[in-house]
Amino acid sequence: MDTYDAIVIGLGAMGSATTYQLAKSGVEVLGLDQYSPPHSFGSSHGDTRITRLAIGEGSDYVPLVKRSHEIWREIEGQTGLELLKQTGGLIMSVDGSQGQHGVANFVEQTEKAAIQYNIEHENLSKDQINSRFPQFNLTNEHGYYEPESGYLMPENCIKAQLTLADRHGADLHTDERVMSWDSADNQVTVVTSAGTYAAEKLVISAGSWINDLFPDHGSWFKVYRQVLYWFDIEERQCYEPLRDMPVYIWVYGTGEADMMYGFPAINGPNGGIKLAAEQYATPTSPQEVVREVGEQEIAEMYVQTVEGKFPGIGRKCLKAKACMYTVTPDHRFVVDFHPEHENVIIASPCSGHGFKHSAAIGEVLSQLVTTGKSPIDISRFSIQRLIKDAA
């Protein structure tokens, strides 16, 4: 039986970052994944993920995303891959909206975080947004603009970190499914479809498969199917590659589902424009999730979310992809030790807003493995809050 200092289960956003940081620190680490990441079966695919420095979900996230931006730039220098593109970011909302990720008054909360951390930003009226960004057809929204926001390329991010993990000596076993794990006598044993491994520490960063590996607490982690759409651009003048267009979050009504987010035309007008909404009505599982996107679903997305809001975006959908969010009851992360096993760490139920923080969370998890603590405060991501709420 092969023995390591640490084993990481799941090599997506959090797991690839953790494996890289552990290997970089000189830890003998085994990374396991049932697929061959980067792949399109989980939560970390689809070309782009928004990143923003002022975090409306809570100012305690800001140190994570600021550190992540530093790490992304370091990795770009080491690998030559482009990971982070800072296009500017715009958050638009109407008064009285229910907000984003469980937070009401999302624009105002984002601005508070920006002021607290001295992050450059502007407050924009509806008329200012319409004049500056003709890609949006607003009615009565106001906005927050942050020039250092932008997008990450998730497949490149995962690929780069696994490349560096391998370069630093990590063992990476892909297409190898974890069947079970056990912790006893200060040692963790992991059984996979190909073998059995032992380690002093285990990190479970399995994303939407968390309930398979942490089954006694499935009520804490709900999995929701999400769909990403790329709609055709019929009027090209607003969406040329050099045209100023930010990433955006757009809350256009007061209902829970009245929001979308999206990106510039990163592949030029011929590549369409990517946008998505979020749904938390119907839970699913990785085994049951519908990965195909039907024509009726596409038509409803256009009518309900796109039509009338973007000049020159047509009904034709160039492509659509499904992914999954793993969501806690309060939409916050879990980054903490297992409640029954002090040598096991649970990570990555990140509630739909985790990728931007993943590089720093990987560093945090590496620190938890090696020293048991991190200089970044992660107390609000404790699993104890879920235990308390369930009591």
Confidence of residue 374 (pLDDT cuts 50, 70, 90): very high
| pLDDT number for residue 391 | 60
8 A C-beta contact, residue 19 and residue 348 = no
pLDDT(342) > 90: yes
Tens of pLDDT, residue by residue over 71-90, are 999 999 999 999 999 999 99
Q: What domains lie within the chain, and their CATH numbers? A: 2-45+154-219+330-390 (3.50.50.60), 89-147+222-327 (3.30.9.10)
8 A C-beta contact, residue 134 and residue 307 = no
Buried/exposed code over 296-330 (b: 16+ C-beta within 10 A; e: otherwise): ebbeebbeebbeebbebbbeebbebbbbbbbbbee
pLDDT over 70 for what percent of the chain? Answer: 98
Averaged pLDDT for residues 332-349: 93
Nearest to 68 by CA among 337, 385, 381, 363: 363
Mean pLDDT score of the chain: 94
Q: Give strand pairing partners of 29.
A: 6
8 A C-beta contact, residue 322 and residue 225 = yes
Averaged pLDDT for residues 368-388: 95
Q: Give strand pairing partners of 30.
A: 7, 171
Q: Give strand pairing partners of 321.
A: 228
Nearest to 344 by CA among 235, 157, 160, 201: 201
| pLDDT number for residue 92 | 95
Residue 155 burial (CB count, 10 A): 19
| pLDDT number for residue 103 | 73
8 A C-beta contact, residue 47 and residue 69 = no
Tens of pLDDT, residue by residue over 29-61, are 999 999 999 999 999 999 999 999 999 999 999
pLDDT(242) > 70: no
8 A C-beta contact, residue 64 and residue 117 = no
| pLDDT number for residue 100 | 73
Tens of pLDDT, residue by residue over 276-292, are 999 999 999 999 999 99
Inter-helix orientation angle 154-167/62-79, to 10°:
70
| pLDDT number for residue 276 | 97
d(CA 58, CA 99): 13
d(CA 253, CA 99): 10
Grouping H, G, I as helix, E, B as strand and the rest as coil, residue 190 is strand
8 A C-beta contact, residue 260 and residue 111 = no
Grouping H, G, I as helix, E, B as strand and the rest as coil, residue 149 is coil
Better-scored residue on pLDDT, 217 or 223: 223
d(CA 161, CA 15): 9
Q: What is the pTM of this model?
A: 0.96
pLDDT over 90 for what percent of the chain? Answer: 85
- Nearest-5° Cα angle at 31, 154 to 331: 50
Tokens 């519908």 locate to 290
Nearest to 20 by CA among 60, 86, 78, 64: 78
